[in-house]
Amino acid sequence: MRTGELGLGFVNELMFQWHHGDTTFGGAPLDFSPGQNSMKILLYNPDNEVTNNFMPHLWMFLLKSLTPPPHEVVLLDGNARRMSEQEVVEYVRGHHIGLVGIGAMTRMAAKAYRVADAIRAAGVPVVMGGPHVTEVPDEPLGRDGGPRHADSVALGEADFTWPRIVADAERGELREVYAPLDTEGKEVKPSLQDYPQISWSRMDLEQFNLIKHLPGLARPILRHLGMRWQTFHLIPIESGRGCPYGCEFCTVTGFFGDSIRFRSNESVVDELLALKTLAKQRKGEIAVFFVDDNFAINPRRTKALLREIIAHNAQVPWVAQISMNLLRDEELVSLIARSGGKWIFMGLESIDPENLKSVSKGFNKPAEYNAILERLSRHNLYAITSFIFGMDGDRPGAAERTLEQIRSWPPGLPVFGLLTPYPATPLYNKLAATGRLTRPKHWLDFKPFIMAHSPLGLSAEQSEAEVRQAWESSYSSQATASALKRLKGRPIADRIIHLCSRLAFRGIYFPQLRRRDWARLVFENRGPIFATVISALVAKFKPHPAADLRHPESDEMLTASRRETAFPEA
């Protein structure tokens, strides 16, 4: 759904006009000059109560950067620090918080509402934003017959509305709905040309230090093997917004719109350079996740950005989401590798062309999956391939047929999910119209990997079993051993990262948040772990021949410090 098309009676309640310097609100001039009263604002992102994200959410850092002075903003991410409703309330009381902003994906909505209820009961106002409440704004406002959870909702992209919300909260005059609409009720989208500078060096990133999550024993071993990092952070950066493809199950085209917008190359490069400096200062490593929906949606622009990254020596290891069809371009793939790209996330979804057509993703061509994955592999790039089961064309055995293909591809990280009807997507509307939703408000009773509708060729239980089989088979200790064996000729740092990623990715399906889960996992995978440690020791004491360290596509040699150690030093 586009915010400008909200079928709600209150669309015209709010007209928000913002035209580069011409800032009016409902006709009245806006005043964003620093207010008298400094407020402490908490931005909170809930966990989904089952698994944890490995990366902080960009929206919190972005809104913090857009908050006008003199207000102070503190951030809490339930994924890094899981807290009960009462614990969040204690935090709010203890830190004298005057306004709480909560953002949530659909699967975190139930927890978000419970936390919001507890905070409001303690007398502190709550504003909710993000994709879920944008799709179903009546729900948090209690206009659908259910209880009310939020004082206000911010619909759509909140870059422009957030300063207004803060100003209204300071005066105690929060409105119910904030939508970035012009005087004609049309949505105004940020161009991203004046993207704010996110001061990562001033953010409290300690809660997101991934080294903290390594099992105790792993740290000294990795240090002994040459890993000098004291911190490791995966930082979200956006270089653009929007994707016009409109896949049936996806909220992105509706939410961000099919108008694609980009930051300037300069501003992205500056952010990367700042992060590089920060990593050095903290004696750590920073990798970047470009959270763009489709990082190469405009290949010419992406290539120009990657060339700028290379020219300014702004390379950091990075991950991005790129649709398969755009990776046919050899020059693009080569630039990705040379600019620091390591992992590419691809929504392959299915190996069945009919299935793909049925969800409007016919631009994915299963016949070329292998060739494209081989191309990435030749450039030392690894793929995170995402598949969905429970589509209408799936029949029993869908997982095994998919696994057979995956096994023939270069080793990567496959992930599997169920077709999930997110509210306001074309898929949701289609299933609702045909009476096929079995749990129309599945998010209020979130259960991971449980169907919310009946597919045509499988039962819900069969679909769930296909997903289970896919995870079990792909992340068994035999599968990990075989993947590591096939990566034998690759740089040792790549192999260690692959091994650690495999052990961590398994946790998306098999909860492994307790120490004893990790101990069992390490024991089960002792074979590949031992083999990798031995290879790392060999690499440390007998430096690899130059060819192993040479980038396959360039003559650039890795720096001397990298040559000496199994892991790049900060």
> How many whole angstroms separate alpha carbon 56 and alpha carbon 459?
36
Tell me the window of 31-39, 121-129, 191-199, 546-554 that interacts with ligand B12 (CB under 6 A): 121-129
> How many whole angstroms separate alpha carbon 244 and alpha carbon 256?
9
For residue 427, count CB atoms less than 10 angstroms from its CB and return exposed for 0-12, middle for 13-18, buried for 19 or more. buried
Identify any residues that bridge with 128 across adjacent strands, giving them in sequence order.
102, 153
> How many whole angstroms separate alpha carbon 244 and alpha carbon 405?
29
- Decide: is 23 part of the binding site for ligand B12 (CB under 6 A): no
The candidate with the shortest Cα–Cα distance to 277, out of 324, 218, 235, is 235
For residue 502, count CB atoms less than 10 angstroms from its CB and return exposed for 0-12, middle for 13-18, buried for 19 or more. buried
| Buried-state track 314-352, b at ≥16 Cβ within 10 A, e below 16 | bbbbbbbbbbbbbbebeebbbbbbbbbbbbbbbbbbbbb
The correct pick among 16, 61, 113, 162 for binding ligand B12 (CB under 6 A) is 162
- Decide: is 358 part of the binding site for ligand SF4 (CB under 6 A): no
> How many whole angstroms separate alpha carbon 523 and alpha carbon 39?
50
- Decide: is 242 part of the binding site for ligand SF4 (CB under 6 A): no
Our CB check for ligand SF4 shows the closer of 256 and 518 to be: 256
Full 3-state SS string of 430-456: HHHHCCCECCCCHHHHCCCCCCCECCC
First vs last Cα of the chain: how many Å apart?
44
- Decide: is 179 part of the binding site for ligand B12 (CB under 6 A): no
- Decide: is 417 part of the binding site for ligand SF4 (CB under 6 A): no
Size of the site for ligand B12 (CB under 6 A): 36
- Decide: is 250 part of the binding site for ligand B12 (CB under 6 A): yes
| The pair of three-digit structure tokens given for residue 103, joined into one six-digit string | 């953002």
Tell me the window of 57-65, 134-142, 244-252, 305-313 that interacts with ligand SF4 (CB under 6 A): 244-252
Tell me the window of 33-41, 110-118, 128-136, 488-496 that interacts with ligand B12 (CB under 6 A): 128-136
The correct pick among 14, 102, 141, 203 for binding ligand B12 (CB under 6 A) is 102
CB-based contacts of 467: which residues, under 8 Å, 6+ apart? 389, 390, 399, 416, 417, 418, 449, 509
CB-based contacts of 94: which residues, under 8 Å, 6+ apart? none
129 binds, among ligand B12, ligand SF4, none (CB under 5 to 8 A by kind): ligand B12
What's the maximum distance between 2 C-alpha atoms anywhere in the chain?
Answer: 72
- Decide: is 245 part of the binding site for ligand SF4 (CB under 6 A): yes
In this structure, the number of other CB atoms found within 10 A of the CB of residue 13 comes to 14
347 binds, among ligand SF4, ligand B12, none (CB under 5 to 8 A by kind): ligand SF4
Q: Smallest distance, Å, CB 319 to ligand SF4?
A: 15
245 binds, among ligand B12, ligand SF4, none (CB under 5 to 8 A by kind): ligand SF4
CB-based contacts of 35: which residues, under 8 Å, 6+ apart? 68, 70, 71, 167, 170, 171
- Decide: is 247 part of the binding site for ligand SF4 (CB under 6 A): yes
Q: Smallest distance, Å, CB 167 to ligand B12?
A: 13
Tell me the window of 15-23, 96-104, 481-489, 552-560 that interacts with ligand B12 (CB under 6 A): 96-104
- Decide: is 253 part of the binding site for ligand SF4 (CB under 6 A): yes
Residues 298-337, mask of contacts with ligand SF4 (x by CB under 6 A): -------------------------x--------------
The correct pick among 6, 250, 305, 406 for binding ligand SF4 (CB under 6 A) is 250
The candidate with the shortest Cα–Cα distance to 539, out of 286, 216, 217, 227, is 227
Determine phi and psi for 242, rounding to 5 degrees. Answer: 105, 150
- Decide: is 348 part of the binding site for ligand SF4 (CB under 6 A): no
The footprint of ligand B12 on residues 52-71 (CB under 6 A) is 53, 55-59, 62
Cis peptide bond N-terminal to 511, omega within 30: no
The footprint of ligand B12 on residues 198-227 (CB under 6 A) is none
The correct pick among 6, 112, 154, 181 for binding ligand B12 (CB under 6 A) is 154
- Decide: is 246 part of the binding site for ligand SF4 (CB under 6 A): yes
> How many whole angstroms separate alpha carbon 187 and alpha carbon 181?
4
Our CB check for ligand B12 shows the closer of 190 and 568 to be: 190
Q: Smallest distance, Å, CB 323 to ligand SF4?
A: 5
Q: Smallest distance, Å, CB 247 to ligand SF4?
A: 3
> How many whole angstroms separate alpha carbon 194 and alpha carbon 115?
34
- Bridge pairing between strands 240-241 and 261-262: antiparallel
- Decide: is 131 part of the binding site for ligand B12 (CB under 6 A): yes
- Decide: is 159 part of the binding site for ligand B12 (CB under 6 A): yes
Residues that bind ligand B12 (CB under 6 A): 48, 51, 53, 55-59, 62, 101-103, 105-107, 127-132, 154, 157-159, 162, 236, 238, 250-252, 256, 291, 293, 417, 422
Residues that bind ligand SF4 (CB under 6 A): 243, 245-247, 250, 252-253, 293-294, 323, 347
